[in-house]
Amino acid sequence: MSSKTIHPDEKYKADKLGKQFTKAGLIAGVPLLVLSIVLGSLKGDHFKHFFFAYLTAWTFVFSICVGSLFFIMIGHLARARWGIVLRRQAEFIVGAFPWVFALGLGFIVPVALGNQELYFWSVKQLHDPNHPLWHHMHGKFGWLDPVFFTIRYVIYFAVYIGLSRWFTKHSVQQDTDADPAHSEKMRVWSGGAIVLYSLTTIFAAMDIIMSLAPMWFSTIFSVNFFSGAMLATYCTLALLHMAIQRSGRLKHSVTVEHYHDLGKYTFGWNFFWAYTAFSQFMLQWYSNIPEETVFYNYRMFSQWEYLTIAVVLGQWLFPYVSLLTRWTKRVLPLLAFFSVWQLVFHYLDLYWNIMPNQTWTVIGAWNRGPLQGDPELYKIGFQAMDVTLLVALVALLLAGIGRAMRGNLIPVNDPKLGAALSFENY
């Protein structure tokens, strides 16, 4: 296998780039977050729509960090060479986990303090044995408890932050001491780390998103969330490297060959997301069990049907067909377009999963989910604060990435770096 050294004219130091990212993120994110809070207060619904929109935007940035951590670990485990020049940016992204944790307190703390607007299981009336849904919920109150929910949230992020810091620490340390033992240590430990990561992600997705509908069941929901997170991660890595190269850095190290592979993985995760989404739908729809089909009933036969169609066509079909060809992965403006496109529809997919849970109408013991009654009564209700919150949290994620962005932009002493620099697609 051919090998190269770092180009003598290559600029691979972060220098002030991280500070620029942080400054830009804070300047855009903080005012928009304040504006979103003002808009939420003016709505007069006790911040209910605000909390759901905030959770949707937060889940979007959370998914990118979750996917980036898996990108790092699977690269070590598989001894992958092509992605070594991209790994440091993924390490910067997971370096923003503490920021994402802090942003998540925006909905965790209100729930822990007794706010009942976001999670239906936190409604105190459900604990009354005379409530029509008590018989369906009382066995779940031990798990779906605001305090225990908060404790689990802290545990999930302790795992994410611990794993990300351990792998980043050894990667950065190798830049200094050039010891190949770091690579072997990260490879050996990545196997067990992925098992821990997988369990954490399964439960985190169930707790934070799926428990919005605590009487709905799915055994593949967390896998579908993970596939969307990985899809968003490869798109983010492509856009982040393009932005870095516009600053004059990594011009020689990250080539069209690496972007081509990012495009291939974007295509692959696009298909896997569609596979898991259809598997969930198909199994539940033909089984025709009311507490399962209610999830799709109101997303297919109300105003939400338009977003359902948009997600199917935009999240899967259009980019899937377009990314089949070689040139859409190698022409960078096209790859940038599809990366942005997929990120937009990843957000809309999360919006489609989360936002319909705003409306619960309990009319009897058999009404077990959100949006009970006539589907036509329920509208999408997209508002300005949905956009301002998304941009605000994405900007604050960028600030967190910038805060972690220091030192080298590539792992300069990784023993397989030469193979990564000379990587080619055939």
Rounded distance, CA 333 to CA 312, Å?
24
Give me the pLDDT at residue 4, please. 86
Rounded distance, CA 4 to CA 195, Å?
34
Is the Cβ–Cβ distance between 318 and 309 less than 8 Å? no
Rounded distance, CA 143 to CA 188, Å?
34
Give me the pLDDT at residue 360, please. 62
Residue for token pair 């190949």? 180
Express the helix, strand and coil content of the chain in percent, nearest 5 each: 75, 0, 25
197 CB-near residues (< 8 Å, 6+ apart): 69, 70, 73, 159, 160, 163
**pLDDT tens for the chain, residues 1 to 426:** 567 899 999 999 999 999 999 999 999 999 999 999 999 999 888 899 999 999 999 999 999 999 999 999 999 999 999 999 999 999 999 999 999 999 999 999 999 999 999 998 998 888 889 887 788 888 999 999 999 999 999 999 999 999 999 999 999 999 999 999 999 999 999 999 999 999 999 999 999 999 998 888 899 999 999 999 999 999 999 999 999 999 999 999 999 999 999 999 999 999 999 999 999 999 999 998 887 888 898 888 888 999 999 999 999 999 999 999 999 999 999 999 999 999 999 999 999 999 988 876 544 444 445 545 566 667 788 999 999 999 999 999 999 999 999 999 999 999 999 999 999 987
Q: What is the pTM of this model?
A: 0.96
Annotate 23-50 with DSSP letters as a single string.
HHHHHHHHHHHHHHHHHHHHH-STTHHH
Give me the pLDDT at residue 302, please. 82
Residue ranges per structural domain of the chain = 17-421
Give me the pLDDT at residue 243, please. 98
Give me the pLDDT at residue 381, please. 86
Give me the pLDDT at residue 363, please. 45
Rounded distance, CA 346 to CA 270, Å?
10
Give me the pLDDT at residue 130, please. 86
287 CB-near residues (< 8 Å, 6+ apart): 293
Rounded distance, CA 187 to CA 185, Å?
5
Residue for token pair 């991209």? 86
Give me the pLDDT at residue 378, please. 72
Rounded distance, CA 208 to CA 389, Å?
18
Give me the pLDDT at residue 399, please. 98
